[in-house]
Amino acid sequence: MLFDTHAHMNDPIFDEDREQVLLGLKDKGVEFMMNVGCCRDSSRDCVAMAEKYPFVYASVGTHPDAADEVNEEVLEEYRQLVKAHPKVRAIGEIGLDYYYETVPREIQQQAFRMQMALAKELSVPVIVHERNAHDDGMRIVKEFKDVTGVFHCYSGSAEMARQLVDMGWYIGFTGVLTFKNARKAVETAERIPLERIVLETDCPFMAPEPFRGKRNDPGYLYRMAERLAEIRGISVEEVHAVTTENAKKLYRL
């Protein structure tokens, strides 16, 4: 059975059939799911969903695209949500996105640091979104030696992944792994220890081949597992067992 370590099932695109998708996941081999917050409002939704479904966990945090909402009041709400709800297992997703850069870089960096500091204070892992910001991302995580977690939808080099692994981080792979042009992700998935790899859909985005471009949901996670088994030359069963164990360690379950 699989663990989807990064999903956004609160997205409005699931409003018509969310319950149906969630209740069908066991039949598609998905046993657990981390529903990831992107801003204050979606973080609240994630907590509510984790309260409702036993197999769903939640994270709270503000994505770099919304970094300008982060202030002491927002951090205090995240602090209280982590303290009050045992199924809130991480701060995220937080980080840097210089590809879209919808918020100025300095503000993204400040919001990232504030939320890393919160994770340190609460002793919880973080879920990092980092796109086109490898140098600044590495610099900031190195400022917080006690904080680790996962670099989700990993897009850096194999060398950078190795550095992160040595620092105690996990590396998350999405459906990108199944894309024909995914050379860098495949190379990284080949080279780092299997014990540091977790799988994710990042749904509703990033549907794997042969469903690319469609609405993604955790039921497609089996495709990432098949591809990882192929890349590593191991059985799908081993991928299921090891990556699920890794995810439980990542989120301290």
Looking at 82-90, 110-118, 159-167, 199-207, which segment touches Ni ion (CB under 5 A)? 199-207
Q: Which long-range contacts (CB under 8 A, 24 or more apart) does 159-167 make?
A: 160/134, 161/188, 161/191, 161/192, 162/191, 162/192, 163/138, 164/138, 165/192, 165/193, 165/196, 167/141, 167/142
In the complex, minimum distance from the CB of residue 223 to Ni ion, in angstroms, rounded to a whole number:
18
- 36 vs 116 by CB, closer to Ni ion: 36
Interface segment toward Ni ion; rule CB under 5 A; list 143-151, 158-166, 180-188, 200-208: 200-208
Q: Give the residue with the Cβ less far from Ni ion, 12 or 233.
A: 12
Q: Which is nearer to Ni ion, 97 or 202 (CB)?
A: 202
| Interaction mask 201-220, Ni ion, x per CB under 5 A | -x------------------
239 CB-near residues (< 8 Å, 6+ apart):
199, 225, 228, 229, 232
Q: Looking at beta carbons only, is 174 or 188 nearer to Ni ion?
A: 174
Question: Binding pattern to Ni ion, positions 156-195, x when CB under 5 A?
Answer: ----------------------------------------
Please state the closest distance from residue 93 (CB atom) to Ni ion, in A. 5
Between helix 134-143 and helix 105-122 the angle, nearest 10°, is 30
Write the DSSP string, 83-144: HH-TTEEEEEEEEEETTT--S-HHHHHHHHHHHHHHHHHHT--EEEEEES-HHHHHHHHHH-
User: In the complex with Ni ion, which residue's Cβ is closer, 63 or 196?
Assistant: 63
Could you tell me which stretch among 18-26, 51-59, 64-72, 198-206 binds Ni ion (CB under 5 A)?
Answer: 198-206
Residue nearest to Ni ion (CB): 202
Query: What's the closest the beta carbon of residue 47 comes to Ni ion, in angstroms?
Result: 16
In the sheet where 2-7 sits, what is the strand order?
Answer: 2-7, 30-36, 56-60, 88-97, 126-131, 149-151, 170-173, 197-199
Nearer to Ni ion among residue 18 and residue 232 (C-beta)? 18
Residues that bind Ni ion (CB under 5 A): 202
